[in-house]
Amino acid sequence: MNIPELLQQLTLEEKAGLCSGGDFWHTKAVERLGIPAMMMSDGPHGLRKQDEQGDHMGVNDSIKAVCFPAGCATASSFDRELVERMGKALGNECQAENVGVLLGPAVNIKRSPLCGRNFEYYSEDPYVAGEMATYFIRGVQSQDVGTSIKHFYANNQEHRRMSSSSEMSERTAREIYLAAFERPIRKAKPWTVMCSYNPVNGVYASENKHLLNDILRNELGFDGVIVSDWGAVKHRAKSLKAGIDLAMPYSADYEKQLTDWYEKGLIGEDDLDRSVGKLRELAEKYRSAVSRRRVTMTEEQKHELAVRAAEESAVLLKNDDDILPVCRDKRIAVIGGFAENPEFQGGGSSRVNAKAAQTLCDCLKQLGFNADFALGYMIRYNILTPFGIRYAVETAAKNDCAVVCVGNTWLTEKEETDRFSLKLNPAAEDLILDVAQVNPNVIVVIYAGSAVDVSAFEGKVKAILYMGYCGEGANEAAADLISGRVSPCGKLAETFPKCLEDTATAERRGNGYTERYPEGGLVGYKYYEYNGIAPAYPFGYGLSYTTFRYGDMQVKKLGKTDYYISFSVQNVGRHAAAEIVQVYISDDASMVTRPKKELVAFGKKHLEVGETCTFGFKLTERDFAYFSPVLNKFYVENGTFTISVGASSADIRAELVVRVHGDAPKAVRVHRNTYF
């Protein structure tokens, strides 16, 4: 039966029911007309399927599943192929569990390093966030399982996330907060998009026709189902008219509002039929997927992938005297509760019921090391509390080096709350300082979901290895990196500022009803560079066990605004490793406020010692453009641009100046539109 015929057959109540969900996790079935119910489940880094009591905060049980590195970590891998493989593995799990749509990826921009859900999100940069999401979606959907890119849009804080309106200019929205969704929606075509809880410029996302219809449907060409975040719909009929096809979770009120408004003539047949048609298409995708069910990955293979992903995502922030990798003949003191039971994911709806990570001591011993363990602190009620400090210090004193494992628990980085500080728990800082007093060779391993302020101990330790929330393979990966079995290659997808006061949102805490974005598009590294604020560790930064030489940068003009750039990278050190390269553009004489540099491309290659490779990137008009509210489009000014190739945003290895022949309508030339 085609959709027009189906719409003829469905009663008003059935149509209202289809648009209002079936229960907490399922869409509604219409058995008599062959429409199946379909299950949706979280989340972005692992399957949180609840067969029993459903909830959207990760409180009730869910089935055992593999926990992969969270978005904060995988983005630091800058590895499209890896993220796609993770997506395939997750899609595989969903297939096996008869889940039709996986509620991820989460691509909200990390505007403030304090946001409680930053661990789920990819980056401060929309290009990185968009690329990671694109390949994640491709991976999951290659298994005939849908995705739900979320939360559309500007859900950049957890503080009053249900009511605080994100207030920004159109230019800021287009260049940053919408841009993170634009690329994956156009390139990967997610089956669904999940709207956010918050208002945007005063109108709830779930009732924002400009957002859902004008931009998402008409401009970005999204033709799937728009689903609400769980409980994000304030008024079902208004949200239907704005473009919400499916309100979750099920509520009888939703159905009643639709039938009441229909009978009053406040919503028309076309409003309902448009959404029912989309839901029927989704149900058909699910139905045909069921017929193609296959389970191809074993638990061991998925776990192994989780370990590899954690290794590729870890960022080496400091490595004085090349203390890492540690030689096998060195005796290691392994200190801290996280060495035994690491936090490897945040709290809330994304939290996976994963198996416990192996202990770091066991992993190091399996690699042939002598390792002594001391607790140093206990984790009670999710708070690190000092425990056995004296024994920990004694253990450190009698070993050649000390690996101190610290970080944030899921109660610190979780949904519905933001952090108030960038610092680690005082017990963790004190433990590091106590150990550093008796052993000069301290290696700090950090498990956290966002930027941390390491100033309390950075100068007292030799090395800092940032693991992120890197999934169940956390300590296997940490041991492989500490031992040199694998070289770290990850680079920060989020700037680590020196202190909270340096951030654009330090004074934030709107009145709970509006949160203005006065920094405009100057988010993350763009803000620090524009304002001349040196961070602790810049965007795109990460050390390796080897060194790379960049050279031979060339540029070829392909057209008025298109260029092809290439350059070589050689591994000139003594350890095989992957290198992540970044390409930035700068508008040398813009008529409007623009960031000093904007990331437009990145690549990654594994290089053996001595090996050389060539990277090549095509840059097109959009890479040079900014969004002009005057012209209401992305627009390229005439003039010269600098193309920079970097190992990080603060480590530019080569650059060239090119002339770009954009448009220059008179109207714009006198218009100096800043971001606000």
- From the CB of 42, what's the least distance to ligand GLC, in Å? 5
The reply to whether 329 belongs to the active site is no
- From the CB of 148, what's the least distance to ligand GLC, in Å? 7
Select 47 or 316, whichever has its Cβ closest to ligand GLC: 47
Select 52 or 329, whichever has its Cβ closest to ligand GLC: 52
Which residue's Cβ lies closest to ligand GLC? 56
Q: In angstroms, rounded to a whole number, what is the distance separating the alpha carbons of residues 608 and 360?
A: 28
Q: Which residues of 650-676 are buried (b: 16+ CB within 10 A; e: fewer)?
A: bebbbeeebebebeeeeebeeeebebe
Containing 242, the helix (H) or strand (E) segment is helix 236-242
Select 230 or 545, whichever has its Cβ closest to ligand GLC: 230
349: contact with ligand GLC by CB under 6 A: yes
User: Which of residues 56, 183, 491, 597 is near ligand GLC by CB under 6 A?
Assistant: 56
Task: Name the β-bridge partners of 582.
Answer: 602, 646
- From the CB of 229, what's the least distance to ligand GLC, in Å? 5
CB 65 within 8 A of CB 302: no
Size of site (CB under 6 A) for ligand GLC: 7
Going residue by residue from 438 to 467, which x/- string records binding to ligand GLC, judged by CB under 6 A? ------------------------------
Which residue has tokens 């297939």?
A: 95
Instruction: Tell me the DSSP string of 135-169.
Output: HHHHHHHTTT-EEEEEEETT----TTTTT-EEE--
Q: In angstroms, rounded to a whole number, what is the distance separating the alpha carbons of residues 346 and 323?
A: 30
- From the CB of 19, what's the least distance to ligand GLC, in Å? 18
Other CB atoms closer than 10 Å to residue 525's CB: what's the count? 27
641: contact with ligand GLC by CB under 6 A: no
Select 42 or 429, whichever has its Cβ closest to ligand GLC: 42
- From the CB of 26, what's the least distance to ligand GLC, in Å? 13
261-267-273 Cα angle (round to 5): 120
| Footprint of ligand GLC on 567-606 (CB under 6 A) | none
User: Which of residues 124, 175, 229, 429 is near ligand GLC by CB under 6 A?
Assistant: 229
CA proximity to 16, closest of 276, 241, 355, 203? 276
Q: In three state form, how does the secondary structure of 63-107 look?
A: CECCCCCCHHHHHHHCCHHHHHHHHHHHHHHHHHCCCCEEECCEC
Q: In angstroms, rounded to a whole number, what is the distance separating the alpha carbons of residues 634 and 121?
A: 26
Q: In angstroms, rounded to a whole number, what is the distance separating the alpha carbons of residues 437 and 460?
A: 9
- From the CB of 315, what's the least distance to ligand GLC, in Å? 25
45: contact with ligand GLC by CB under 6 A: no
- From the CB of 275, what's the least distance to ligand GLC, in Å? 20
CA proximity to 91, closest of 296, 350, 353? 296
| Footprint of ligand GLC on 358-397 (CB under 6 A) | none
Continuous H helices in 490-537: 525-530
Going residue by residue from 300 to 339, which x/- string records binding to ligand GLC, judged by CB under 6 A? ----------------------------------------
Select 49 or 80, whichever has its Cβ closest to ligand GLC: 49
Q: In angstroms, rounded to a whole number, what is the distance separating the alpha carbons of residues 397 and 285?
A: 61
- From the CB of 349, what's the least distance to ligand GLC, in Å? 4
158: contact with ligand GLC by CB under 6 A: no
E strand residue ranges, 534-595: 548-557, 563-571, 577-587
Select 349 or 544, whichever has its Cβ closest to ligand GLC: 349
- From the CB of 240, what's the least distance to ligand GLC, in Å? 20
- Among 229, 245, 502, 623, the active-site one is 229
How many residues can be counted in the chain? 676
User: Which of residues 30, 39, 42, 89 is near ligand GLC by CB under 6 A?
Assistant: 42
150: contact with ligand GLC by CB under 6 A: yes
CB 7 within 8 A of CB 276: yes
103: contact with ligand GLC by CB under 6 A: yes
182: contact with ligand GLC by CB under 6 A: no
- From the CB of 129, what's the least distance to ligand GLC, in Å? 15
Q: In angstroms, rounded to a whole number, what is the distance separating the alpha carbons of residues 125 and 83?
A: 17
Other CB atoms closer than 10 Å to residue 269's CB: what's the count? 12
Select 121 or 545, whichever has its Cβ closest to ligand GLC: 121
Strands of the 192-195 sheet, one edge to the other: 40-42, 101-103, 146-152, 192-195, 225-228
The two beta strands, 626-628 and 199-200, are unpaired
Select 117 or 308, whichever has its Cβ closest to ligand GLC: 117
User: Which of residues 122, 153, 230, 410 is near ligand GLC by CB under 6 A?
Assistant: 230
Select 54 or 573, whichever has its Cβ closest to ligand GLC: 54
Residues 6+ apart with CB under 8 A from 2: none
Select 200 or 403, whichever has its Cβ closest to ligand GLC: 200
CB 92 within 8 A of CB 295: yes
Task: Name the β-bridge partners of 29.
Answer: none
The two beta strands, 548-557 and 514-516, are unpaired
Is the alpha carbon torsion for 576, 129, 405, 305 positive or negative?
A: negative
CA proximity to 673, closest of 210, 169, 211, 26? 169
Residues 6+ apart with CB under 8 A from 56: 42, 230, 231, 249, 349
- From the CB of 120, what's the least distance to ligand GLC, in Å? 8
- From the CB of 105, what's the least distance to ligand GLC, in Å? 10
Select 150 or 280, whichever has its Cβ closest to ligand GLC: 150
Select 185 or 232, whichever has its Cβ closest to ligand GLC: 232
Contacts with ligand GLC by CB under 6 A lie at 42, 56, 103, 150, 229-230, 349
- Catalytic residue set: 229
